[in-house]
Structure 1
Amino acid sequence: MPSNASDLRDTRELHLFNGGPPLRLLRLWGRFDPDHQHVVRRALIVACVGWLPLLLLALLSIPGGHDEVWRAFLRDASVHARSLIVAPLLVLAEAACIPLLGELAHTFRDRGLIPAAELPAYERVVHSIRRLRDWWLIEAVAVVLAYLLAVLLVTHVPTSFLPDWHRSDSEGAPLGRSPASWWAMLVSLPLLLVLLLGWAWRIFLWALYLWRVSRLDLRLVASHPEGAGGLMFVSYSLNSFSLLGIAIGVIVAALELAHLLAGGDITPEQLGRVAFGSIVFVLVLFTAPLLCFCAPLLRTRRQGVKAYGALAQRVGTSLEDRWMRAPPGPETAEPLSSPDFSAVADLFQSVEKAYQMRIIPVELRSAFTLAMATALPFGVVALALVPFDKVLEKMVGLFL
């Protein structure tokens, strides 16, 4: 019985963030895939539903003498990026991110960071996150909000502010919009918004979980070799958010590319500023939840410096009294062969770890990986700013 209870707790934590919009809709539909084995198929379906009808409707404008709709659709890099890249990436990120976040949540218990006295409070934290994850109102709000934003765009944003393929000169065209525009506003855009809102909710739940756990009396170790009291593992969450970083980078970079293809002027300096702003936004978005551990880590560091410093003082004083201040004798003839020095050296290494303990559990390598993932789409746009012959010349110059 205890083993079954332990397995049940492990399962609850490993699937702690496996929900929210639109996964609950899939669960109600009977198509929920808790192990994300069919995530590639769902990503392809999302791409087909969001983009393929747009392509077909734009093609149908050619026989009607509106081939400008087709040409404008092809030039609109933002719509292709949103439906063909961003939406599928948001689905694929479920398989890359959700299981890892569950494993990180389980690590708090598995490493013994939750003392026995705090286990009831920790169970309440897990239960509250699961209840919020499965809250049906969030699913309904996500769908309603997505369509509300779509309706507001249709009714309040003139087609003159949109790419040319949204407009139609045909008689009887509702609000002067093309059929492709209506599909984009009523299907493609709400689908993308629901996926984005679902990830916004999961990120909120992850941040809420970390904040509530940080309020517990965690069993942190000042001299832990990780350098952050044993909490550095939470930084691995940044790696799992890399696909989301790419998706955010694609959304912003595609707007710049669409502006460039429409005849606008973009300098490398302007693109660099936009890329830098996007990278900073992504880093702040995904590292901010980790900062809730700064207070307990600072407290642990202060306590560790005090305790380890006092211990080092006592041991160091005893060592000097025995080997440096005591009168020479047979027992002090070979100091280097004594185990005292190796034991003290090991102790002083632990003391040094306590003094060097970080109060921000963010690994620079993980942050760099996330930053590079976000910057990747801007590198593609940067290539569009440079003539191909210049790129080829630079590449040849690397080998000659």
Structure 2
Amino acid sequence: MNDTIAPAPENMNKEDHSARDPILNEFLASQGGPFFELQKQLQLLRQNALQVGSRATLFVALAWGMPFLLAVPGNFSLEHGQGAYLVDLGVFAKFFIGIGAFILAEQQVENGLKAKLSQLVLAPVVAPTSIPAAAAIVASALRQRDSRGAEFTCLMLAVFASVLSYANFHATEASSWAVTYFPEGNRVSAAGWWSICFSLPLFVFLFLRGAWRHLLWARMLRNIAKLDLRLVATHPDGKGGLAFLAQYPNAYAIFVFGMSCAIAAAVAKSHFLEEGLSATTLSMIMSGWLAIVISFFAYPLSAFTPPLLRLKEQSLSLLDAQATRFCRAAERKVIGRNVFSDATPEPEPELADPGKQYETTRKLSTILVNRAVVIPVAAAALIPFAAVAATKLPFKEVLSVVKKLLLL
């Protein structure tokens, strides 16, 4: 059962918590697992240095730069540059922006999640008696993070995506940097084979790996929400002392931007936009994608709604009772008796006026996630779609749609 209103801890040293259970500070979302160990063996990173800049440069060079070099000879044979590598928006979005963003996001995600988890203990939001249970939850998440089976599944799904891409190359009826069209059967170019065997699997694997690790974080938060929590209804953050958790999605802004670029490029290449685009249609597309992104992050945070509801209900009940006693005592002092009274004598204790606390508690929000605190990640989700839409609609209309979605 979650504590409703707990007194401030006495003689509590913040460092005592992390020293007692150091594993609580060891949920490093971007470390561990076979892929991390492989990169460490190749000296692409170190245990205490992810080196995201150099790794992003290397992976983008291999995933996007290598097909570019392999496609150069074939581009000269394409009529009017149709199907040329540099004009393929989907390739640029996935292999350049997407892969680069997924790697660059690793440091931001790791630092952001680690800070939020530490604050749960240092506040302390998690009651000291529940810290061993919290440590066990984190340890379980770490074991799943390092799972070979999970990353193998991500790899198999990436291979499946490559098989679909290969089938699509053979089904196309136009030549491009990736394939040469022949009536008797298409021939995949060297650049096309590289994208099938390396670039696309890397993009899909990095995305699935990042999404899987976020799922582990989500499950971890949902389990922590079941522990004894030291929440207080009158906390100035208006969310019982948990508002800092609602900001964690912003650590994924770069990751979301990379995925949004790939989705926006796919939408741009679809026949859906070729038939014409209106501001209403654009708003529907962007609001739909934004809803998916916010739901992705709302899932773990929704676990804290039940304890916040209990906190609000129990606090209002206690404050309401005290307000009745306080106001009746004040009434007796002013007019000598209570208007509604009985023969039972009432005590005359010195009570504090609970009015301000009652009003603050009444305004307590029981839903952590809202668009106002996740504007960075919401903007990262919408900007790629806005860039695509700007090629079809006046810039002012596109900007108006984006502003409405961000400020609603």
What band does the TM-score fall into relative to the shorter chain?
Answer: 0.7 to 0.9
Encode CA deviations 1:67-97: one digit per residue, 9 max, x unaligned: 6787432331111111111111111111222
Pairwise CA distance, 1:245: 2.5
What residue identity is the alignment partner of 2:97? I
Structure 2 residue 382 is the aligned partner of structure 1 residue 375: yes
Paired with 1:77 and 1:137, the residues of 2 have a C-alpha distance of 33
Of 159, 165, 176, 1:164 maps to 176
What residue identity is the alignment partner of 2:310? R
Paired with 2:370 and 2:142, the residues of 1 have a C-alpha distance of 28
Pairwise CA distance, 1:36: 4.8
Aligned residues: 372
Residue equivalent to 1:78: 90
What residue identity is the alignment partner of 1:26? Q
Structure 2 residue 304 is the aligned partner of structure 1 residue 293: yes
Q: Please identify runs of 4+ aligned residues in structure 1 that moved more than 6 A.
A: 2-5, 67-70
Mark the CA change 1:270 to 1:166 in structure 2 (over 3 Å): closer, same or farther: farther
Residue equivalent to 2:274: 264
Residue equivalent to 2:330: 319
Residue equivalent to 1:359: 366
Encode CA deviations 1:152-203: one digit per residue, 9 max, x unaligned: 4325763417873322259xx9962111111111110011011101111111
Residue equivalent to 1:105: 117
Mark the CA change 1:104 to 1:5 in structure 2 (over 3 Å): closer, same or farther: closer
Residue equivalent to 2:222: 211
Encode CA deviations 1:361-388: one digit per residue, 9 max, x unaligned: 1244223332222111122112211479
In the TM superposition, 1:90-169 aligns within 5 A as 90-155=102-167, 158-160=170-172, 164-168=176-180
Paired with 1:68 and 1:18, the residues of 2 have a C-alpha distance of 44
3-state SS, counterpart of residue 391 of structure 2: helix
TM (norm. structure 1) is 0.82
Seq. identity, %: 26
**Contact 1:20/1:138 (<8 A) preserved:** no
Residue equivalent to 1:23: 36
**Contact 2:93/2:265 (<8 A) preserved:** yes
Residue equivalent to 1:194: 205
3-state SS, counterpart of residue 172 of structure 2: helix
Mark the CA change 1:118 to 1:11 in structure 2 (over 3 Å): closer, same or farther: closer
**Contact 2:21/2:131 (<8 A) preserved:** no
Mark the CA change 1:381 to 1:81 in structure 2 (over 3 Å): closer, same or farther: same
Pairwise CA distance, 1:151: 2.8
3-state SS, counterpart of residue 164 of structure 1: coil
3-state SS, counterpart of residue 277 of structure 1: helix
Paired with 1:350 and 1:61, the residues of 2 have a C-alpha distance of 73
**Contact 2:27/2:142 (<8 A) preserved:** no
Pairwise CA distance, 1:66: 5.1
Of 67, 73, 83, 1:54 maps to 67
Deviates more, 1:192-201 or 1:314-323: 314-323
**Contact 2:56/2:99 (<8 A) preserved:** yes
3-state SS, counterpart of residue 165 of structure 1: coil
In the TM superposition, 1:29-68 aligns within 5 A as 29-36=42-49, 38-62=51-75, 65=77
Structure 2 residue 215 is the aligned partner of structure 1 residue 235: no
Question: Which has the larger helix fraction?
Answer: 1
Paired with 1:318 and 1:197, the residues of 2 have a C-alpha distance of 63
Mark the CA change 1:299 to 1:101 in structure 2 (over 3 Å): closer, same or farther: same
Alignment RMSD: 3.4
Paired with 1:133 and 1:184, the residues of 2 have a C-alpha distance of 28
3-state SS, counterpart of residue 374 of structure 2: helix
Structure 2 residue 254 is the aligned partner of structure 1 residue 247: no
What residue identity is the alignment partner of 2:125? L
Encode CA deviations 1:34-70: one digit per residue, 9 max, x unaligned: 555521111111211110111111102256x456787
Of 336, 343, 355, 1:348 maps to 355
Residue equivalent to 2:346: none
Paired with 2:23 and 2:128, the residues of 1 have a C-alpha distance of 20
Paired with 2:75 and 2:126, the residues of 1 have a C-alpha distance of 65
Pairwise CA distance, 1:118: 1.6
**Contact 2:233/2:364 (<8 A) preserved:** yes
What residue identity is the alignment partner of 1:225? P
Paired with 1:120 and 1:98, the residues of 2 have a C-alpha distance of 22
3-state SS, counterpart of residue 180 of structure 2: coil
Residue equivalent to 1:397: none
Paired with 2:332 and 2:23, the residues of 1 have a C-alpha distance of 56
TM (norm. structure 2) is 0.80
Mark the CA change 1:119 to 1:298 in structure 2 (over 3 Å): closer, same or farther: same
Paired with 1:238 and 1:3, the residues of 2 have a C-alpha distance of 26
Paired with 1:156 and 1:75, the residues of 2 have a C-alpha distance of 19
Mark the CA change 1:174 to 1:48 in structure 2 (over 3 Å): closer, same or farther: farther
